[in-house]
A and B are shown apart, each in its own frame.
Chain A
Amino acid sequence: MDAMQAEESKADQLVSDEGSRVLLKGTTLNFIGNLCVEPQLRRYISEDMGGLLTQVFDMLHTDVTTKPFDWVDSSGRAL
């Protein structure tokens, strides 16, 4: 019984962690997307200031090649 409860708790934790990861990733990409609406900020990001554009592309590449469960949504946000 204890083993079963421990297993369930572990699964809940995994789902919770994954949910937080997806939420953080989605909101970060949305935030960057919103920054791009402003012309000056878009220019900075386009010039890869802070390596931001490179990181967004890396994220897109990883999503497309490893295909986690949310990859379509996540790739769409990155693009």
Chain B
Amino acid sequence: MNCSLEPAAQTLLASFNFDEVAKIVFKTIVVRPTKNEEKELILRILQLLGRLIKVPVGQLKIMQSKDILLKLFVYYTHDDTNKSALITLHALCAKGEIFKKILLETHGFTLSSFDSFVTTGLANFKITREAGKWDDYVNLCSSLSTFIGCIPERSEDF
């Protein structure tokens, strides 16, 4: 993780089959792990994805994996993994039409597949505004507007 801060390591790691590692970990460990070691491993994998999304090869591998994308949307809905999953999702949503096409046409997502994303986003919007957590509020507004930019059909939900 420390190394993946560096662009050289991001390029190298993206060239490895990190997507396979992520897929196996996501499939093996239950979605809501109880053991701290398992929680930590999920979190670190999500952080790794958040770093490797910055590299074109990494981005391509993540976008090509339906399993990873599905789990990113799932982990977005959990409090302890919400921000880590969002880093990757935000970068992907920023791709706009390309990402939308991959989700809907390549992987067979439907507009209702984003229900939990919308619900969680709206809930977090309310929480951050009421609690006056303005840093989180700004980040959330940014991520939600990027999501709407990618999937404009869901703009009515907001």
Contact = CB atoms under 8 A, between A and B. Distances in A.
Contacts of A36: 2-3
Interface residues of B, number: 27
A67 B1 CA distance: 21
Interface in A57-79: 57, 60-61, 64-65, 67, 72-73, 75-76, 79
Contacts, number: 63
Secondary structure at the B interface, as helix, strand, loop or mixed, is helix
Contacts of A33: 2
Given A76-B37, A76-B44, A45 B12 contact: no
A46 to B, nearest CB: 4
B48 A67 contact: no
A76 B29 CA distance: 13
Interface in B1-43: 1-3, 5-6, 8-9, 12-13, 16-18, 20-21, 24-25, 28-29, 35, 37-38, 40-41
Nearest to B23: A64
Interface of B: 1-3, 5-6, 8-9, 12-13, 16-18, 20-21, 24-25, 28-29, 35, 37-38, 40-41, 44-45, 47-48
Given A46-B9, A64-B24, A72-B37, 13 more contacts: A42-B2, A42-B6, A43-B6, A46-B12, A47-B6, A47-B8, A53-B9, A54-B16, A60-B21, A61-B21, A64-B25, A79-B47, A79-B48
